[in-house]
């Protein structure tokens, strides 16, 4: 007898098979899981009183409004519950509505519903503990809250007097402007002797401390830049702190222990491992008009000897007008013709991206990269890019990210670079590091001293105004 296998393989088998039977497709509908709607809790009289007292000054203390005037007293269960839930959402994940975000504010807080935890706290009579746990759990946020209280006090006491323009002040200077400088510095620095009109060595040290706090070149010479920083009104410093507290609320409840952070305003990159900084370097970030966006992502690959695909806007405004000879001299290649033509700068010593490009997914087409031009890193004003982030030490960063890949140790990296050929190196999944581009213009040092940076994009004032406007709207809606 012929084997079954042979029969199945023999000629004519297909013709001998019965016609296929249509099998009805049964659509499996997953069971509908009812959404549990938690009704607003009913507070006891004591809880109403307790929560109203907690809410009385909380929004002001956490920078949800600049106005410190007394707020209308909350009365009744519904009003207190609405105010508590509104405050919880605001201080936990931000005051802004989705419509308030600018396009280049790519950080977005996670959705947050305070009702379940609030209802549980009411049931277990642990409202105070629930209330304390709402703000971001970061020391950086705590430092800003303490700084907010200090600068509110300064503002309430009249702030400081604007220092008049005039010649630069240095050791040996004297007169009314030096006396005014002493008085101004003493407001923020308790080690300064507030009286006297002589610019001595001690005053120079105080100026240096102030310049460090403001991210300026610590020369001890009081010139235009230092005067400008000292003359920012105290009320503007309060709003600056408010804006930075709000940005902390946009971050996840727990930051990855291994991450890279770029402070856009200060133009500094810091590498964290084990939630502690292990390395930092200077950066060059976007100039006003070409802002570096705030965002979070993950570095997934490093491009060695990267070409630069010039964005169409830069090509049209800055490169095509310079002519074909300039493009050829600088290793640019025109790809395509007519309206679809574009420019690509080839890899090499003149490439604007240098030898390294660090890629991460984002809708803004920005990345971290090397640069052949190192002069800007010597400057204290390093906002000079088209939006991407140039790095002072990209080679060591690449070695750090690839250190666990035996195929890409320092010798292998250098050999690949020496070929001049473009090569993408995919990071191993466990080595793909989170990256955060952040806009920190106010932060507290370890000793509690507030530090400020300029607001080059005007985002602080814009954000502070949005916070106050949204707080006013919600205050009316919750009463």
> What's this model's pTM, rounded to 2 decimal places?
0.87
Q: Which residue has the higher pLDDT, 449 or 6?
A: 449
Q: Give the model confidence (pLDDT) of 282-339 as tens digits.
A: 999 999 999 999 999 999 999 999 998 888 888 888 888 888 888 888 888 888 877 7
d(CA 325, CA 322): 8
Strands 295-304 and 276-286: unpaired
d(CA 305, CA 188): 48
Given a contact cutoff of 8 angstroms between Cβ atoms, the answer to whether 400 and 279 are in contact is yes
Given a contact cutoff of 8 angstroms between Cβ atoms, the answer to whether 302 and 408 are in contact is no
User: Does 388 qualify as catalytic in the annotation?
Assistant: yes
Write the DSSP symbol of residue 298. Answer: E
Given a contact cutoff of 8 angstroms between Cβ atoms, the answer to whether 394 and 356 are in contact is yes
d(CA 441, CA 461): 11
Give φ, ψ of 141 to 5 degrees.
-70, -45
Q: Give the model confidence (pLDDT) of 402-429 as tens digits.
A: 999 999 999 999 999 999 999 999 999 9
List C-alpha distances in Å: 150 to 79, 181, 187, 237, 283: 31, 20, 11, 11, 31
Percent of the chain with pLDDT over 90: 77
Q: Give helix 115-123 / helix 77-93 axis angle, nearest 10°.
A: 130
Q: What dihedral angle (degrees, nearest 10) is formed by the CA atoms of 167, 168, 169, 174?
A: -20
d(CA 462, CA 468): 10
Q: Which of 62, 92, 369, 434 is catalytic?
A: 369
pLDDT of residue 240: 98
User: Does 369 qualify as catalytic in the annotation?
Assistant: yes
List C-alpha distances in Å: 74 to 68, 135, 402: 16, 22, 57
pLDDT of residue 349: 81
Strands 368-369 and 356-360: antiparallel
Q: Which residue has the higher pLDDT, 118 or 71?
A: 118
d(CA 176, CA 142): 38
Who's near 348: CB < 8 A, 6+ residues apart?
305, 331, 420
Q: Which of 66, 300, 386, 388 is catalytic?
A: 388
């Amino acid at each position: 007898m012929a084997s079954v296998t042979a029969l199945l393989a023999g000629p004519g088998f297909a013709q001998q098979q019965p016609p296929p039977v249509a099998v009805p497709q049964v659509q499996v509908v997953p069971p509908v899981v009812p959404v549990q709607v938690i009704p607003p809790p009913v507070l006891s009289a004591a809880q109403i009183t307790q929560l109203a007292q907690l809410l009385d000054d909380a929004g002001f203390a956490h920078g949800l409004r600049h106005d410190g005037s007394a707020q209308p007293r909350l009365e009744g269960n519904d009003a207190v519950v609405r105010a508590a839930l509104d405050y919880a959402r605001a201080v936990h994940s931000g005051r802004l509505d989705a419509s308030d975000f600018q396009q280049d504010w790519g950080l977005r807080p996670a959705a947050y519903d305070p009702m379940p935890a609030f209802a549980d706290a009411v049931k277990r009579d642990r409202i105070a503990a629930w209330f304390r746990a709402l703000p971001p759990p970061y020391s950086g946020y705590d430092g800003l809250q303490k700084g907010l209280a200090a600068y509110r006090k300064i503002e309430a006491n009249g702030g400081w007097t604007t220092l008049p323009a005039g010649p630069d002040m240095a050791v040996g200077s004297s007169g009314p402007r030096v006396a005014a400088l002493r008085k101004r510095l003493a407001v923020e620095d308790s080690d300064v002797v507030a009286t006297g009109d002589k610019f001595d060595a001690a005053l120079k040290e105080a100026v240096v401390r102030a310049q460090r706090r403001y991210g300026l070149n610590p020369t001890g010479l009081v010139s235009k830049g230092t005067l400008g920083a000292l003359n920012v009104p105290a009320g503007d410093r309060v709003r600056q702190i408010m804006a930075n507290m709000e940005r902390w609320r946009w971050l996840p409840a727990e930051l990855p222990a291994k991450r890279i952070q770029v402070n856009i305003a200060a133009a500094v990159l810091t590498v964290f491992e084990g939630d502690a900084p292990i390395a930092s370097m200077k950066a060059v970030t976007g100039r006003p008009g070409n802002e570096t966006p705030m965002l979070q992502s993950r570095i997934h690959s490093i491009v060695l000897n990267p070409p630069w695909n010039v964005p169409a806007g830069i090509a049209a405004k800055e490169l095509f007008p310079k002519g074909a000879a300039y493009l050829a001299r600088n290793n640019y290649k025109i790809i395509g013709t007519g309206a679809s033509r574009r420019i690509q700068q080839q890899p090499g010593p003149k490439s604007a991206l240098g030898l390294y490009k660090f890629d991460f997914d984002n809708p803004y087409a920005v990345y971290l990269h090397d640069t052949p031009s190192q002069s800007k890193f010597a400057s204290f004003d390093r906002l000079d890019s088209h939006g991407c982030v140039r790095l002072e030490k990209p080679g060591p960063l690449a070695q750090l990210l690839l250190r666990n890949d035996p195929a890409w140790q320092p010798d292998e990296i250098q050999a690949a670079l020496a070929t001049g050929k473009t090569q993408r190196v995919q990071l191993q999944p466990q080595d793909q590091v989170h990256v955060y581009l952040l806009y920190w213009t106010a932060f507290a040092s370890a000793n509690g001293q507030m530090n400020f940076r300029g607001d080059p994009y005007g985002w602080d004032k814009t954000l502070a105004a949005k916070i106050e406007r949204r707080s006013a709207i919600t205050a009316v809606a919750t009463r």
